Amino acid sequence: MSTKIALLGFGTVGKGTYRVLTQNAAVIEKKTGKKIEVARILERAQAAIDSGVAPKELFTQDYDSILADPEISIVVEMMGGLEPASSFMLRALEAGKNVVTPNKAAVAANYDKLHKAAEDHGVRIKYEASVGGAIPVIETINTSLVANRISKVQGIVNGTTNYILTKMEEENLSYEEALKQAQAKGFAEADPTADVEGIDAANKLTILIAECFGVYMRLH
C-alpha cells in the first residue's frame, strides 16, 4: 500500500521534488519501507502544468479536494512566501495531514501556530530543508544532539551573502560586481533583497533558536 502525498506548488523546487520522488522511488521504498505516490499537485501556472515533468491528470487548482481526500496523508508545501502557504499548511494540519515544507519564511512567522496545530491534531510538521538545505541540521538537533546542552548557534546560513563576501575578499570585487556575478550563476535572485538585507538569515535563525533553546522569537 502506497503513502499518497500532495505537492503544493510546481516551480523549481516542486519539479525537483517530484523528480526525486519518482526517479528514486525504488531507493526510497527500500530504505523506508514505504512506497511514496504523488497523488495530486496544486498549481495554477499553465506553463508548469504543460512542462511535461508530471502527468497533467495529477494537477488541480482545488485545494479543498486535496484536504477532503482521506488517502492523502502528507502535504508538501513548496509555494513559498507567507500566504497562502501559511494558511494552506495550517488547514492541512487541521485536516489531520502531515506537512513538509522548505518555506523558512512561513515557518518562522508561524512556528508556534504550526506546532500547536500539529500537536492538537496528532500529526507532524517537518521543515528540515528550511534551514541548511540538504544539511540535516534540525533532525540532528532533535535526535543525535538531544542530550546535549547547546550554548550558541554559529555558522554560515545564507549561501548568497557567503558567495558575495568571499568574492569581495578574495578577488577584491565591489559589492555590485559580486552581486551581479552571483545572479549570473544563479546563486542570487533577480531581487536579492531577502538575502542581502538579512531577512533569509533572520528567518533561519528564528527556527534554529526555537529548536536549540525552545524560545520562539517572532520577527514580525
Please list the active-site residues. 204
- What is the pairing mode between strands 98-100 and 59-60? unpaired
CA distance 35 to 54: 18
- Any bridge partners for residue 215, and if so which? none
Where do the DSSP E strands lie in the chain? Answer: 2-8, 35-42, 59-60, 72-77, 98-100, 125-126
Q: Are 99 and 90 in contact (CB under 8 A)?
A: no
Q: Give the count of beta carbons closer than 10 Å to the beta carbon of residue 156.
A: 11
Residues 102-136 as b or e (16 or more Cβ within 10 Å = b): bbbbbbbbbbeebbebbeeeebebebbbbbbeeee
Cell numbers representing residue 13 in the block: 523546487
CA distance 5 to 8: 10
